[in-house]
A and B are shown apart, each in its own frame.
Chain A
Amino acid sequence: MSIEPTLSTDILVIGAGPAGIAAAVSAAECGRRVLLIDDNPQAGGQIWRGTNIDQGPVSARGWLQRLESSNLQHINGCRAIFLADSNLLIADLHGQRCAIRFEHAILTSGARELYLPFPGWTLPGVTGAGGLQALIKSGLDVSGKRIVIAGSGPLLLAVAATARRASAHVLCIAEQTRAKARRNFAFGLWRHPGKLTQAIRLRAQSIGAPYSADAWITQAEGDDRLAAVWLKHGTRHRRIECDLLACGFGLVPNLDLAQMFGCTITGGAIAVDKSQRSSRQNVFAAGESTGIGGIDKALIEGRIAGFAAAGSADKAAVLLAVRARTQAFAKTLAKAFALRDELRTLATPETFFCRCEDVPLSAVRAMPNMRQAKLASRCGMGACQGRICGSAAEFLFGWRDTASTRPPFTATALSNLISPSIEASQK
């Protein structure tokens, strides 16, 4: 029997985005042993991906510097596989299985983009909005490419800015929300602090790309790859020839990790109390996974969770008022970018609903819930395990997939489920 590397810590933070960094740094400042893990090669999460410690947004730099100088242990390229018991996580560390024993866990698993099916959405050349941003940041050459950005939410503007900086030609930003809702949102921003609000206000004015509210994608066309998109703008239809379509309909919390830990999920987010504690006594959660609200909410919740997990709840007390403001902002955000009903009817019966298993919408439409749809059509049983179509089904049909996450937490090499766990065999 080979001996498997085992790490041990007081507080395990899973996910090194803003919430995770804030949680880990705060807990470490209280003198606890902290281990921060993330499956990406670099800390920062989706929003600070590729941010250099010497440049980039001020708050990002500040937190990344604090992370650097903190005495906590920080491991990238480390992916959760399954929970062996309530204090032992099995993880993949650079392709090697390892065990992590912890007292408390803080889940900061962030959010993923909501993709909705429409005719042509699986054509090469169509990506997620955040997906395109990540591709550009990791080196995809888009210079001179004609790009349409469509969907909903503040992310569209950020993607447009990234694409323009990379010398792409952004033809159009199509925001599905009603112009009035967005204007009210922008006018209301002064009441809320922080980066995200500023970004939306400034970028909307200075992005230099045509921006349309009340506009949404209805179709992507092309033979073997994207050639053009159809947009509906109010009551008019427009066809735009382009090379790339980046399309995202906002964010949804990543809940899989919390489900694996057995945490209660309420209203599509991890349920937490005022100290960010989940329904599991030794598990806390912070950031987008407790409800979409942007970076200010993530940072403040992360700090509170870090202090609470470290047993210094008193330090968190002064932060509660700020958190209430960020959570109020989250509500405003959700309202301003609420998805319109028309988006529920974009897909035709032939449109793929599940792109992993090539399941057309017609195969699931008449089903009463996700589990029946899965068993009847195999939708959600492929590589992504329903992460894409499950979120879409929730918006399209109101289905909530209640099945618990079963090991492995994400796809992993079979050998990772074999190697002996010392702890497990000692029991």
Chain B
Amino acid sequence: MNPVHTRCDVAIVGAGIIGAACAEACAAGGLNTVLIDADFPGGGITACGMGHIVVMDDSAAQWALTTRSRELWMARATSLPDNIEYDACGTLWIAANRTEMDAVEEKAAMYQQHDVHAQILNSAELARAEPELIAAMSGALLVRDDAVIYPPAAARHFAASAAVLGAVMRFGQRVQALEPGRIHFADGTILDAERIVLAAGLASNDLLPNLPLRARKGHLVISDRYPGRVRHQLVELGYLHSAHASDADSVAFNVQPRRNGQILIGSSRQFDVTDTTIDAPLLAQMLERAVGFLPFLRDVQVLRSWTGLRPATLDGLPLIGPSTQHASIWLATGHEGLGITTATATAELIAAQLLDRPCAIPAAPYWPARFAAEPTNVAT
């Protein structure tokens, strides 16, 4: 039997929002690109998340990646199709007490220093901005240019745009195995690729074992339509400390208004849980936390709940760059909860490095090679 052979400069495995954005950037850079997915664009973990475009400041590297990403989103916001539902509603980081309010002031100073628009709201201003929020809050940081999108539509759009730029789409085709320079499909066909970019989320591990990836399960709930009741993406400031910091199961208040008036309610984090069933007690905890901030939520009609497995790394930064196993097999995964935001800069970094062009931000902090040595001094 003679397997069908084709070749390309770069083959991207996984057409989630990351892979699809990478394909678009590579094709735009003139690379002969193939985008592969076992199913269809945006149908995996991309479809499970909230769809937040947000700047985050856990580490210098995270700040660089999220601010650059958001710049890229903002630059193309007006040209995105309507079904992506790009809504620059801004984020309100809610401070529950005086200590958190101090953190808000520090953040505001830092953001302003970097020319990222950020405004401190006192308790009364916050109450005017979000009338449904309980009155006891100390204030908030308003990050004006943060936005909300509908991620599956964005992944579809990036893939379609890659196709217009000449990339070849191979959807509904499962990759059986990888070797440097070659992809074996389950149907027996073979694709030769000078470089392979593995952007398959947690499934990347099936094709290239021993990646420093772990599942971090999350729950979400969506309500019926309540237009105008929630106006910004709302996150408790404690989110950074409570949800990101620990290895234990945790919940945090994070609520998002959808353009159609539905309200998305999160969030929960559980490490290394890989079944996708609803954990009712944890879901109850998560909702209780949300009601604590937004009492009206108690009476909203809930339509559905679901879970997703975030592809997380040990240091909270994604894997973007050549793998430690094979120089020609690259990674673009491990974005945990920030894949929607950082798809744009991830794609930019991948394309620039594959094309030997200068990167807009330093690339080294995201290289998978950081896990090859003892990770004593990971980005903080």
Contact = CB atoms under 8 A, between A and B. Distances in A.
A420 B288 CA distance: 10
A82 B222 CA distance: 16
Contacts, number: 89
Given A372-B43, A375-B47, A385 B304 contact: yes
A417 B153 CA distance: 30
Given A377-B83, A383-B224, A417-B221, A406 B297 contact: no
Chain B residues touching A, majority SS: mixed
Contacts of A412: 301-302
A416 B306 CA distance: 16
Interface in A389-421: 406-408, 411-421
B278 A407 contact: yes
Interface residues of B, number: 34
Interface in B137-174: 150, 152-153, 156
A344 interface: no
Nearest to B285: A418
Contacts of A221: none
A74 B90 CA distance: 51
Nearest to B304: A406
B40 A413 contact: no
A110 to B, nearest CB: 22
Interface string A337-380: 00000000000000000000100000000001001100111100
A417 B283 contact: yes
Contact of A417 (B40, B222, B287): B287
Given A375-B152, A377-B83, A414 B280 contact: no
Contact of B305 (A357, A371, A407, A421): A407
Given A376-B152, A406-B304, A411-B224, A420 B284 contact: yes
B287 A414 contact: yes
Contact of A411 (B83, B150, B291, B303): B303
A368 B288 CA distance: 39
B98 interface: no
Contacts of A357: 260
A321 interface: no
A47 interface: no
B299 interface: yes
Nearest to A412: B302
A413 to B, nearest CB: 6
A217 B290 CA distance: 47
A135 B157 CA distance: 44
Interface of B: 40, 42-43, 47, 83, 150, 152-153, 156, 221-225, 260, 265, 278, 280-281, 283-284, 287-288, 291, 297-306
Given A407-B305, A417-B221, 4 more contacts: A357-B260, A412-B302, A414-B301, A417-B280
